[in-house]
């Protein structure tokens, strides 16, 4: 499994409603390719060690594209930068994408660029997990996520200053992230929506 540096700070856990639906479809003998948007947290590595899989970590929360989107870069330039940041082998096809709340750090132009950049690495059965919002006044804490158990994700403070967030409602997300269809959504007590998506290729 590919990895970056492993965070060691203490985390707390939260019940997740839809993640088990995604995980229970994984057969132990199936080879998987998993994209994690975020650092290589120890609990996530441990969780996926029970499967035959390759983990790909993309440190997008600290990527320069978050600052580039604030300037005069075109959508095409942002898509090219995201593709460069990914650096995945061309034959990579993800079975599972863990986007967490990252999509809410991208404005409309950058999210369309992300949609373009991720497209070559999807197949028609790719599933994704993400957080979005019910209303645009919902805020996102500066935190990072991992998988503790099939029904539990871990949450710990994200080091450094939080980048600007631009929350997306479910309706906006499906228009900007057109490579995916939303299959399920569950409203969380804090106003976020936990969603599962399938690639719409």
Q: Which one is the CATH code of 12-199: 3.40.50.150, 3.40.50.300, 3.40.50.11780, 3.40.50.720?
A: 3.40.50.150
Q: What is the mean pLDDT of the chain?
A: 88
pLDDT digits (tens, 9 = 90+) for 25-78: 676 677 889 999 998 899 999 998 888 889 999 999 999 999 999 999 999 999
Could you tell me if 68 and 78 are in contact, meaning their C-beta atoms sit under 8 angstroms apart?
Answer: yes
Sheet holding 192-199, edge to edge: 52-58, 31-37, 96-100, 127-133, 192-199, 180-187
Which residue ranges make up each domain of the chain? 12-199
pLDDT at 4 over 80: no
pLDDT digits (tens, 9 = 90+) for 127-179: 999 999 988 888 899 999 999 888 888 999 998 899 999 999 999 999 999 99
How far is Cα 106 from Cα 41, in angstroms, rounded to an integer?
Answer: 23
How far is Cα 129 from Cα 160, in angstroms, rounded to an integer?
Answer: 24
Q: In whole angstroms, what separates CA 73 from the centre of its chain?
A: 23
* pLDDT-derived band at 183, boundaries 50, 70, 90: very high
Torsion over CA: 19, 152, 189, 168 (sign): negative
Using a 10 angstrom Cβ sphere, with 0-12 exposed, 13-18 middle and 19 or more buried, the burial of residue 77 is middle
Q: Provide the 8-state DSSP code for 169.
A: B
């Amino acid at each position: 499994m590919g990895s970056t540096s492993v965070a060691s700070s203490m985390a707390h856990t939260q019940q997740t409603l839809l993640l088990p639906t995604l995980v229970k479809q994984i057969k132990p003998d199936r080879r998987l390719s998993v994209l994690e948007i975020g650092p290589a947290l120890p609990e996530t590595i441990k969780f996926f060690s029970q499967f035959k899989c390759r983990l790909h970590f993309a440190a997008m929360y600290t990527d320069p594209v978050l600052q580039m989107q604030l300037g005069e870069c075109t959508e095409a330039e942002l898509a090219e930068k995201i593709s460069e940041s990914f650096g995945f082998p061309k034959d990579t096809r993800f079975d599972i994408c863990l986007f967490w709340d990252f999509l809410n750090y991208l404005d409309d132009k950058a999210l369309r660029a992300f949609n373009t950049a991720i497209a070559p690495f999807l197949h028609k059965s790719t599933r994704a997990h993400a957080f979005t919002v019910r209303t645009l006044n919902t805020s996102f804490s500066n935190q990072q996520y991992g998988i503790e158990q099939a029904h539990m994700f871990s949450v710990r403070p994200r080091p450094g200053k939080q980048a600007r967030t631009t929350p997306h409602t479910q309706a906006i997300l499906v228009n900007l992230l057109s490579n995916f269809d939303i299959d399920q959504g569950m409203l969380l007590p804090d106003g976020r929506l936990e969603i599962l998506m399938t690639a719409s290729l």
